Amino acid sequence: MKTLFVNGTLMRGLELHGNLAGAEFLGEFKTSPRYRLHSIDDIHPGMFETEEGGVAVTGELYRMDEDLRRRVEAGEPPHLYIGAVSLEDGRVVDGVLFPKAEAVKHPDISKWGDWRLYINTKHQKAERPMKHIDAEPYEFDFEPSRTALVIIDMQRDFLEPGGFGEMLGNDVSHLRSTIEPTKRVLDAARRAGLLVIHTREGHAAHLRDLQENKRIRGRGDRTIGDMGPMGRILVRGEEGHDIIPELYPQEGEPVIDKPGKDAFYATDLEHILRQRDIRYLIVCGVTTEVCVHTTVRAANDRGFECLVVADATGSYFPEFRRVGLDMIKAQGGIFGWVADSGDVVKAL
């Protein structure tokens, strides 16, 4: 019986493993730090022994009979040869090697020391291209597969004439102008396959999740939980609490019901984002200085890169919207980035 150390071409899980059919897999091993590894057209590794600057290379050891060993050798490209390879544990075994003079014509990937790791990283990069949005204070770079669109509280009670917002004396037209841009970003995000998350501010019918400070704040004659123009104000399940029809969630898009202004507070938003390895958030919604700001600040502290879509966020106070956006992008993007919906859609 013969043993053979291989480090790529023939490795388990890779296509050419078929060459080794019938061989017994003995395990994964490392060489002593005396080798260099080059990538031959990203098709197979070229490993050779070096006098200095050597690294340990990861590979696998197989046991096979003479016949199979001859077939393996014959199945390899002609410049590869089988020679002595010293393992980390002191053993010297046969291994598949590449002539140094040939290998050095190709890129040195010794720092990886592991062909599979190198190839996997290349594939991941290819599957995860970076995109760029023309934004302030500078370009926003993001990986679409790690990006979520978060639409904050586009609820009837905040946006519709006759809702709770208007009942409080607010001019809802300032918020309604955000619907079209948000819709365009939402459509583009859905087309691009981004994770889309909607949030709604509100409380359970029993109001046990409504803090007293929030209930009495504002000193209005009607407050959260009371009967409003579209059902009980900010109570889940009521008409006014639901998302406006123009931006209604599709099947499978998470809807986060939040009792506070911060979409992370007392919700499973962070768990959902981490579950999908999300790193970038594109944020739309209302109102800029309240729930959007609070959420973006909270997201920023959790390590998420946030871009707020300027024309897809609004406030009952236009001045607050403007200054709110300025605050996000000030000081080199202290909380994140700001861009127009057109630029976001273009990038997606």
Catalytic residues: 153, 258, 291
The DSSP result for 70-101, as a single string, is HHHHHHS-TT-EEEEEEBTTS-EEEEEE--HH
Site residues, ligand TIU (CB under 6 A): 153, 201, 286-287, 290-291
Joined together, the tokens standing for residue 80 give: 């590869």
d(CA 321, CA 327): 10
Work out the angle at residue 308's Cα, subtended by the Cα atoms of residues 307 and 312, and round it to the nearest 5 degrees: 140
Joined together, the tokens standing for residue 25 give: 């897999």
User: Residue 326 Cβ, how far from ligand TIU at the closest point, in Å?
Assistant: 18
Q: Which is nearer to ligand TIU, 17 or 214 (CB)?
A: 214
Q: Which is nearer to ligand TIU, 86 or 223 (CB)?
A: 223
Q: Which is nearer to ligand TIU, 195 or 234 (CB)?
A: 234
Q: Which is nearer to ligand TIU, 153 or 257 (CB)?
A: 153
User: Residue 291 Cβ, how far from ligand TIU at the closest point, in Å?
Assistant: 3
Residue appearing with tokens 């009371």? 226
Q: Which is nearer to ligand TIU, 138 or 265 (CB)?
A: 265
Residue appearing with tokens 């934004």? 135
- Residues near 317 by beta carbon (within 8 Å), at least 6 away in sequence: 174, 289
Residue 219's SS3 state is: coil
Joined together, the tokens standing for residue 297 give: 């600040």
User: Residue 286 Cβ, how far from ligand TIU at the closest point, in Å?
Assistant: 5
User: Residue 210 Cβ, how far from ligand TIU at the closest point, in Å?
Assistant: 13
Residue appearing with tokens 């959790």? 302
CA distances from 54 to 57, 85, 102, 348 (A): 9, 13, 17, 44
User: Residue 174 Cβ, how far from ligand TIU at the closest point, in Å?
Assistant: 10
User: Residue 315 Cβ, how far from ligand TIU at the closest point, in Å?
Assistant: 7
Joined together, the tokens standing for residue 178 give: 């955000």
Q: Looking at residue 16, what DSSP letter applies? A: G
Give me Rg for the CA atoms of the chain: 29
Q: Which is nearer to ligand TIU, 137 or 260 (CB)?
A: 260
Residue appearing with tokens 């080794």? 20
